[in-house]
Structure 1
Amino acid sequence: MPPITKDEAEGTEYDLFVIGGGSGGLACARRASGSYGAKVGLAEGSPQLGGTCVNVGCVPKKVMWYTADVADNLRKAPYYGFGDEAAEVAIPKFKWNYLKKKRDAYIKRLNGIYEKNLVNDKVAYHQGWASFVSKNEVKITKDDGTSYNVKAKKIVVAVGGRPTIPSDDDIPGASYGINSDGFFEIEEQPKRVAVVGAGYIAVELAGVFHTLGTETHLMIRHDKVLRTFDPMLQDVLGDYMEKTGVNIHKNTNVKKVEKTETGLKVYTDSSDEPVEVDVLLWAIGRHANTEKLGLENLPNIELDKQGDIVADEYQNSNVEGVYVIGDVAGKVLLTPVAIAAGRRLSNRLFGPEKFKDDKLSYENVPSVVFSHPTIGSIGMTQPEAEEKFGKDDLKIYNTSFKAMSFAMLEEKDKQPTSYKLICQGENQKVVGLHIIGEGSDEMLQGFGVAIKMGATKDDFDSCVAIHPTSAEELVTLR
């Protein structure tokens, strides 16, 4: 079913109107309408539903991670008797464009599923860019310039964010580069790439490029990757990336970019010689999509210095009847967080009495990094725990080893695994868990439940180990 037309929509009043058709907005709208029977409308400016996660984020990125993982496993094969172990490990030529077409088709199918879900839950889908006329009215502008207004008793802002890229005024030639959205538009595998940034998007995309055989340069402003994560994770991942051949340029800032007949020359402040690449990818952060929301028509709405809309613990903005969920609120920028916040908001606004105080807790949110190897993290980092509780009130447990799946490989080809458990107080409550190594992404979900429930070190120890696994090391730490 296509989006509703201007004639069908104009002048309609909704119980709830959601601006943004990403994961959080869709979850909020469907819960309010499908579960509680509210009259709900949703506007999405782009032609594809699903937002960043589905179209240019988590989902296609994970497809690329799986692709790189297949390449890693092909390299393992000779050590397990497939092929000639003594020979140079050769894997079939990777067909980037073939995979891109399949990946794009998969995403297109997901877009269709999201649209069907709106139909099934009786959410009115408006394809157009929504902006505030007042706190109870929005204007929806279509790509052809036509527009119409709808009214709503309550309005949810779920417009997400987009990648930040430097201006040519700040860094001459910066616009020759692409951002993480542009990564998914690349038609053929580049031979040489520079990724600028040290966060999870930067290390994930650099990892994909490198594992698939692209000469990869990672340019970071300081001397560590993943600077908001636990130091152990920073050290293990950074060291392993360098060991496998990623060129990490530390304490480096890009000064200018020049386009030549043979590629792009990237000049930095850490070397007299430029790095020449085929693709320059900026992964230096994201910012909220608030510029065209018509926020000037919401007098005194509060924004923070990053441009995010300030929301309280119940997702309320400071304008009555206007709510904020997802990345635009600037808290824990993860898709499942936006989904959980959106559903709880609809529970509270339209659900039964038992949900009158429903809200999302932003504490102990598990997160993963799809690096090579993968990372899982929940709770406080060691520096955060030391600052809050003091070193004397903490007990830190560590272990490092090589996963059994690498047992047949030469030592130089084995991925590292390192785990850290941060425990606090006399009963040693687990306040932080940080893991890197094969399977860490899948492993974290179960441990996340335990930590959310307040697990202690004794609780971990009382769980019988599953052998032989990597995960058993977390319940046998001494």
Structure 2
Amino acid sequence: MLSLRKHWFSLVRLCDVLHVAGRRSRSSGVNVKYDYDLIVIGGGSGGLACSKEASQLGKKVAVLDFVSSSPKGNAWGLGGTCVNVGCIPKKLMHQASLLGQSVKDASHYGWNVQGDTIDHSWESLVMSIQNHIKSLNFGHRVQLKEKNVEYYNAKGSFVDSHTVLARHENGDEVSLSAEHIVIAVGGRPHYPTNVQGSHEHGITSDDLFFYSKPPGKTLVIGGSYVALECAGILAGLGCPAHLMIRSHPLKAFDRDMVNLVMSSLRGHGVQILSHCEPQSIERGSNGRLDVVWRDEASQTCRDQFDTVLFATGRQASTWALELPRVGVAMDTPTGKVLVDERDTTSVDNIHAIGDAAYGRWELTPVAVKAGKLLARRLFEGSNVLMNYETVPTTVFTPLEFASVGLSEEEAVSRYGNERVEVYHAFYRPLEYYLPHRDSSQCYIKMVCEAVDTERVLGLHLLGPNAGEVLQGFSTAINAGLTRDQLHGTIGIHPTCAEEVVRLHITKSSGADPTLTAC
């Protein structure tokens, strides 16, 4: 299948080359002089990284970025999903929810916390987050100017394979040409079409971080990491949160870890509605939302909520680019652009990175790295490709879940059960002891190739600050870390990260993996 796709790519590219060559030969007989060496359509993390890297290599670069409002009327500035409605506001809200738990723990550490009631101001939190985001928007514009990247606050669409039409909000249009064009438009959440009233009454993560008042009792629909994170954050901030999942949550992740993540969410107060499908949403006479759904027994259920948040997937923001006009191949259901291992589309001088590219991780650091490497390949002669195989990531649920490499299921599928060994442990963070917090979901799993020195194929961690812990280990795994090397490493005591280097109990042994304190 991959071979056929490569041959198809080659055929389409040959046609494009012949088209461009014909167009040039019909001109004055000289090579076309382009306005820019590179045009990047999309001002998110990947597009900005690619444009700035190309500019640093001495190329003339332009960036086009325009954010269409969400159905609820929310729009934002330069920086893409991560800065405005993704990683940054999410992590800040995650931190806010963790602080609520810390305040509850404080009395066990000798702090005199008056009373049992902890008040939280949603309005103050949102204002602080939005002020920070605006400073980041401004900072991105300053950086582009400092690096001599021309910025157009305009929508872009293809005229031909080397020409983009930039449309400003006031209706002004300008035609721009470039030797290379990068599609980095990212994606936006989508509403399910089979749920009556979803557009009229539902919101998405594009809206949550702009909410001017507490969302109250909230139904989060979806099983993605965005859904789980939003549900956990809302519960931590005192909003009754319900999470409705049609099939399985976090499908791409290790099943043991996911089951523990869900158990942890329940422990933090999130009500889980498993194997349920929403049917309709209506505004009741009392102003609240009447939601009807079917449960796993096909029974009709209903309840009232103040807010319904859809986190049921995203689609690439490619609809306005006119890609069929220039022959760029796409995956129709998702709107994503098909690319090869060099992030090049079916048209040789058009490339795609980030969330708009098919088969790529929808993660900011992935887009940033891919953008920089692409610029170096185009303008510096580099042949270094992006490694999409061993990518670390963290799900910022109340108890964080970090992962890098293969899940146990993926490893067994790839190598066979007899060539996979799993080391695992349940552990108790020291900071949980005094407040007697539940640590039954704090778990580590290391997946190894069961030959010779046992190369580490995957590492998965559920616990406090899991993302911070796993970052360093991901570097080692990319460098070929073995179980022997890990076991020979001295741990930093007393930390959660120390428990990783202490792993010694195999899953196949059937021994109790619960670790005891020193």
TM-score normalised by L of structure 2 = 0.86
Residue 207 of structure 1 aligns to which amino acid in structure 2?
G
Residue 416 of structure 1 aligns to which amino acid in structure 2?
Q
Partner of residue 357 from structure 2, selected from 310, 313, 329? 329
Q: CA deviation at 1:274?
A: 1.0
Q: CA deviation at 1:190?
A: 2.3
Alignment map for 1:31-430 (pairs within 5 Å): 31-33=53-55, 35-46=56-67, 48-83=77-112, 89-91=116-118, 93-167=119-193, 170-175=194-199, 176-222=201-247, 224-260=248-284, 261-270=286-295, 271-299=299-327, 301-303=329-331, 305-330=333-358, 331-351=360-380, 353=381, 355=382, 357-411=383-437, 413-414=438-439, 416-426=441-451, 427-430=453-456
CA shift digits 1:320-350 (9 cap, x unpaired): 1001111000311100000000000111111
Aligned equivalents of 1:216, 1:188: Cα separation in 2: 15
Aligned-residue identity in percent: 35
- Decide whether the 8 Å contact of 2:232 with 2:268 is kept in 1: no
- Structure 2 SS opposite 1:293: coil
**Aligned in 2, Cα 1:62/1:268: closer, same or farther, shift over 3 Å?**
same
Q: CA deviation at 1:76?
A: 0.8
- Structure 2 SS opposite 1:178: coil
Gaps of 5+ in 2: 1-32, 68-75, 505-518
Residue 234 of structure 2 aligns to which amino acid in structure 1?
F
Q: CA deviation at 1:302?
A: 4.2
- Decide whether the 8 Å contact of 1:194 with 1:277 is kept in 2: yes
CA shift digits 1:46-72 (9 cap, x unpaired): 361100000111011111111111111
Aligned equivalents of 2:407, 2:151: Cα separation in 1: 42
Larger mean Cα displacement after TM superposition, 41-50 or 436-445: 41-50
RMSD: 1.6
Q: CA deviation at 1:296?
A: 2.4
Larger mean Cα displacement after TM superposition, 75-84 or 384-393: 75-84
Aligned equivalents of 2:342, 2:332: Cα separation in 1: 17
Aligned equivalents of 2:333, 2:226: Cα separation in 1: 23
Q: CA deviation at 1:466?
A: 1.1
Aligned equivalents of 2:111, 2:153: Cα separation in 1: 52
Aligned equivalents of 1:417, 1:302: Cα separation in 2: 41
Aligned equivalents of 2:410, 2:128: Cα separation in 1: 43
TM-score normalised by L of structure 1 = 0.93
Equivalence for 2:71: none
- Decide whether the 8 Å contact of 2:328 with 2:337 is kept in 1: no
Residue 251 of structure 2 aligns to which amino acid in structure 1?
R
Residue 304 of structure 2 aligns to which amino acid in structure 1?
E
Aligned equivalents of 1:12, 1:120: Cα separation in 2: 23
Aligned equivalents of 1:58, 1:439: Cα separation in 2: 15
Aligned equivalents of 1:64, 1:104: Cα separation in 2: 12
- Decide whether the 8 Å contact of 1:415 with 1:437 is kept in 2: no
- Structure 2 SS opposite 1:274: strand
Aligned equivalents of 2:423, 2:293: Cα separation in 1: 40
Equivalence for 2:47: 25
CA shift digits 1:444-470 (9 cap, x unpaired): 110000000010100101111111111
- Structure 2 SS opposite 1:198: coil
- Decide whether the 8 Å contact of 1:75 with 1:90 is kept in 2: no
Aligned equivalents of 2:215, 2:150: Cα separation in 1: 42
Equivalence for 2:508: none
CA shift digits 1:334-393 (9 cap, x unpaired): 000000000001111112x4x2x1221101000111111011100111111111111111
Aligned equivalents of 1:181, 1:217: Cα separation in 2: 19
Gaps of 5+ in 1: 1-10
- Structure 1 SS opposite 2:143: helix
